[in-house]
Structure 1
Amino acid sequence: MQHIYFFGYGSLVNRTTHLHAPAYRARLNGWHRAWRAVPERALCYLTAVRDPQASIDGLIAPVPGENWAELDQREAAYDRHDATATLDHKSDAKEIVVYAIDPARHRAPGPDNPILLSYLDVVVAGYLSEYGPAGPACFFETTLGWEAPILDDRAAPQYSRTCALTDEIRTLTDTGLELMGSRIITAAD
């Protein structure tokens, strides 16, 4: 039986956040990645946005038995889009979708739409694991929306899929944020 695959470009790149296997590195063409604000949430979401000049690296994996309920719940703010023809990968996947927020529902983040640092650490850990030290650097460079403040929640992570934070992940995340000129805030700010 041929399963439909998903393309992950944020926390889904981190294999410790899901049980979907086998997973393969992939490149999505015609899209870029961006931090976006939505009306129903104060925090920023990471989404894919159509852009014919861009491409982003990530991970594809099958959804066995076409059981999408758990993944759809995890990605509740997003719609599924067919990405089969726009992906480069080395798997036998015949059908692949990408989750993205409807462009009519999102906008550029403002000062009141922070990015959770605990979430960002999970994403950086995934890119480090899949693509080596160049992976997180590429993630930062190919993602828009870094004008959003970064909410430092490392001491009490708010992200539900937080992973072990190593010195290497901390350094790669902090260096990437410094290069992007990001403003770090705390809950008291």
Structure 2
Amino acid sequence: MTNPYFFGYGSLVNVATHDYHNPQPARLAGWRRAWVHTDLSEAAFLTAVPCEASEIDGLIAAVPGADWDALDEREHAYDRLPADGSVTHAVQPTPAISVYAVPRSAHNPGSARHPILLSYLDVVVQGYSQVFGTDGVAEFFSSTDGWDAPILNDRATPIYPRHQLLEAAQTELVDHHLAAVGAKVVAG
């Protein structure tokens, strides 16, 4: 029996945040990313949003023995949805693939009370940089909505539980793209 896979499009692209097997670059058709806030978290976070004309890069990885419990707990604000026919990847035989998405009814925009954590964004961009290079990072920013939410600069004292240390070039890459999208970074 082939293990099922998940498609990650945010922090799951950064393999330093998990130990799931056989991570591989992949592309999901019919979806975009967006920063949203729900009642389950103080901070805004990424979700996948259906969008017929869009595609996003990400990472697929195996969930051994279909033991989804730990990943479902990590992604507790999301619904796990089938994405089999929408994902382009190189894994053979083709596994069942799921994607996590916040239910549309739970979406709220990020705000001063519910900002995007820079420590979280840093993790996401570090993953995209490592897997897809600088072009992949640019694609991440252009295929993500919600940059009007404030970005809380918590780098000195990271709030995000899976934060990572970034190299200076990675930090500069994040800061460059935040400036390019006109994001407002506020002191932590």
Instruction: After TM superposition, give the deviation of residue 67 of structure 1 in Å.
Output: 1.1
Partner-residue secondary structure (3-state), 1:29: strand
Superposition RMSD on alpha carbons, in Å? 1.0
Match of 1:129 in 2: 130
Partner-residue secondary structure (3-state), 1:22: strand
CA distance in 1, matches of 2:165, 2:45: 22
Are 2:147 and 1:174 aligned? no
Q: Amino acid of the residue matched to residue 84 of structure 1?
A: D
State the aligned residue count: 187
Match of 2:139 in 1: 138
Partner-residue secondary structure (3-state), 2:129: helix
Match of 1:27 in 2: 27
Q: Amino acid of the residue matched to residue 178 of structure 1?
A: A
Instruction: Map 1:74-85 onto structure 2 (within 5 A).
Output: 74-85=74-85
Q: Amino acid of the residue matched to residue 72 of structure 2?
A: D
Match of 2:156 in 1: 155
Q: Amino acid of the residue matched to residue 54 of structure 2?
A: A
Instruction: After TM superposition, give the deviation of residue 136 of structure 1 in Å.
Output: 1.1
Length-normalised TM-score, structure 1: 0.96
Instruction: After TM superposition, give the deviation of residue 40 of structure 1 in Å.
Output: 3.4
Match of 2:110 in 1: 109
CA distance in 2, matches of 1:153, 1:109: 16
CA offsets per residue over residues 128-167 of structure 1, 9 Å max, x none? 0001111111111110000000000000111111112101
Q: Amino acid of the residue matched to residue 13 of structure 2?
A: V
Partner-residue secondary structure (3-state), 1:42: coil
Match of 1:13 in 2: 13
Match of 1:41 in 2: 41
CA distance in 2, matches of 1:37, 1:21: 30
Segments of structure 2 that go 5 or more residues without pairing to the other structure are none
Q: Amino acid of the residue matched to residue 73 of structure 1?
A: E
CA distance in 2, matches of 1:74, 1:95: 20
Q: Amino acid of the residue matched to residue 86 of structure 1?
A: S
Q: Amino acid of the residue matched to residue 142 of structure 1?
A: S
CA distance in 2, matches of 1:130, 1:58: 9
Paired residues of 2:110 and 2:116 also in contact (CA < 8 A): no
Partner-residue secondary structure (3-state), 1:16: helix
Identity in percent: 46
Partner-residue secondary structure (3-state), 2:42: strand
Match of 2:54 in 1: 54
CA distance in 2, matches of 1:69, 1:39: 22
Paired residues of 1:39 and 1:106 also in contact (CA < 8 A): no
Paired residues of 2:40 and 2:77 also in contact (CA < 8 A): no
Q: Amino acid of the residue matched to residue 51 of structure 1?
A: C
Instruction: After TM superposition, give the deviation of residue 168 of structure 1 in Å.
Output: 1.2
Q: Amino acid of the residue matched to residue 164 of structure 1?
A: L
